[in-house]
């Protein structure tokens, strides 16, 4: 009988184990871990230290460890659709708030790519009052997402989230199609 695969994240798992066990959510998990103040994602310490040891090494207490573990497991429970582009509930709520502040209620959001950085592409998010004739329109969380049809194959499966943490706040995009990211963390290639 094959050993059972761990389906719940716990404090005794290493960051590497977490990211390896849940590749479809690895980018979102990494965003949550770094937003919590644990900056070992991608470094050699992630292979050896448990999540708890890493948090404690960064001065976090039991409550912070428990809070992060709960957030990571809640993230695993969120459904995502690899056939479209989705906004998380948190991203949708923040975008609606921004639309109200900008007096642009009801507008969609444009997801695009631009050539930039050392790996080739960066994401662009912008307000979009109406789609163009060349756009594919998907709806997530009640918000229209406008995407140029020719970019859709590179962006299908993307999940747009909003995070706040010690490293700042902002929209974060997880894309299963990305094959390489650069060291600066802002550009990627396919």
The model's confidence at residue 5, banded by pLDDT at 50, 70 and 90, is very low
Confidence of residue 144 (pLDDT cuts 50, 70, 90): very high
- The predicted-structure confidence for 23-57, as pLDDT tens digits, reads as follows 777 777 887 888 788 766 656 556 678 899 988 88
Domains and their CATH numbers in the chain? 15-77 (no CATH), 86-189 (2.60.300.12)
Backbone angles phi, psi at 21, to 5 degrees: -70, -25
Helix (H, G, I), strand (E, B) or coil at 128: strand
Q: What are the residue ranges of helices labelled H in the chain?
A: 15-21, 26-35, 45-48, 51-57, 62-77, 89-101, 152-155
Indicate if the pLDDT at residue 2 is higher than 50: no
- Percent helix / strand / coil, the chain, rounded to 5: 35, 25, 35
SS3 133: coil
Residues 6+ apart with CB under 8 A from 55: 11, 36, 37, 38, 64, 65, 68
Q: Which helix (H) or strand (E) holds 87?
A: strand 86-87
| Average confidence (pLDDT) over 54-76 | 90
């Amino acid at each position: 009988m094959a050993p059972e695969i761990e389906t719940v994240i716990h404090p005794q798992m290493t960051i590497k184990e977490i990211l390896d066990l849940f590749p479809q959510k690895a980018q979102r998990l990494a965003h949550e871990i770094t937003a919590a103040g644990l900056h070992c994602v991608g470094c050699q310490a992630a292979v050896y230290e448990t999540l708890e040891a890493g948090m404690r090494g960064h001065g976090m207490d039991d409550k912070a460890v428990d809070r992060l573990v709960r957030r990571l497991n809640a993230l695993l429970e969120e459904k995502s659709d690899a056939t479209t582009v989705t906004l998380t509930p948190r991203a949708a709520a923040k975008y609606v708030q921004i639309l109200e502040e900008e007096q642009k209620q009801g507008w969609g959001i444009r997801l695009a790519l631009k050539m930039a950085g050392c790996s080739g592409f960066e994401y662009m998010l912008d307000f979009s009052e109406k789609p163009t004739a060349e756009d594919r329109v998907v709806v997530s969380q009640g918000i229209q997402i406008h995407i140029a049809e020719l970019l859709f194959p590179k962006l299908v499966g993307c999940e747009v989230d909003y995070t706040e943490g010690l490293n700042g706040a902002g929209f974060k995009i997880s894309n299963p199609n990305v094959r390489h990211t650069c060291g600066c963390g802002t550009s990627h290639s396919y």
